[in-house]
Amino acid sequence: MTSVPNTPAAPSRSPGSSARASLWSAASWPLPLVLDWGLRVALAAALGYSGWVHWDLHEVYDANATSVLSQGDLFLAQAVVAWIVAAAVLVLGGHPLWGRLSWLAALVVGAASLAAVLISVYVDIGQVGPIPSMYEPIWTTEKAWSAVAEGAAAGLAAVRLTLPLLRRVGR
């Protein structure tokens, strides 16, 4: 009688399943520590700067108002949201679920802020409901650097959100 080596049975898989971790599993989210923290800090700096510019300028734009809102109010709201999202990315950015949500929020805040500044410079849409007309067809230094920071924040968030996909394709 011959002896069969004692080997563990292969795990059963349904047709079409993969042995690799799915894109949305916790295993696909971690990055090397230096890369993860580098992206987190860079994004927090970009959103932090955007928030600081909006905080700094909110009083200048308080006079541009409707009966409900002023442009300064919107600037304050953007500053607070940018800072909250920056803090969320720093604290939660490496978590498989909350990290993805914080990076997605950073993408939305960065892209929306960049879109708002570009529209305010190039398109005169006038007052929209309670939102005052914010058309100002000039580039100031603070506005330009804020746009750069917002674009960087959106880009960094997009890169971080797509890295698990790129890592999976490279396997």
Residue 117 inside a domain? The answer is yes
Supply the pLDDT for residue 122: 97
Supply the pLDDT for residue 163: 85
Residue 11 inside a domain? The answer is no
pLDDT at 118 over 90: yes
Instruction: Please give the tally of structural domains in the chain.
Output: 1
- 70 band by pLDDT with thresholds 50, 70 and 90: very high
pLDDT at 129 over 80: yes
Supply the pLDDT for residue 10: 47
Residue 137 inside a domain? The answer is yes
Supply the pLDDT for residue 16: 47
Residue 100 inside a domain? The answer is yes
Which domain, by its residues, includes 105? 31-169
Give me the percent of the chain exceeding a pLDDT of 70.
Answer: 80
Residue 2 inside a domain? The answer is no
Residue 10 inside a domain? The answer is no
pLDDT at 60 over 90: yes
Supply the pLDDT for residue 40: 95
Token code pair at residue 94: 């490496």
Residue 163 inside a domain? The answer is yes
Residue 36 inside a domain? The answer is yes
- The DSSP-derived string for 45-68 is HHHHHHHHHHHHHTTTTTTSB-SS
| Spatial contact of 31 and 101, defined as CB atoms under 8 Å apart | no
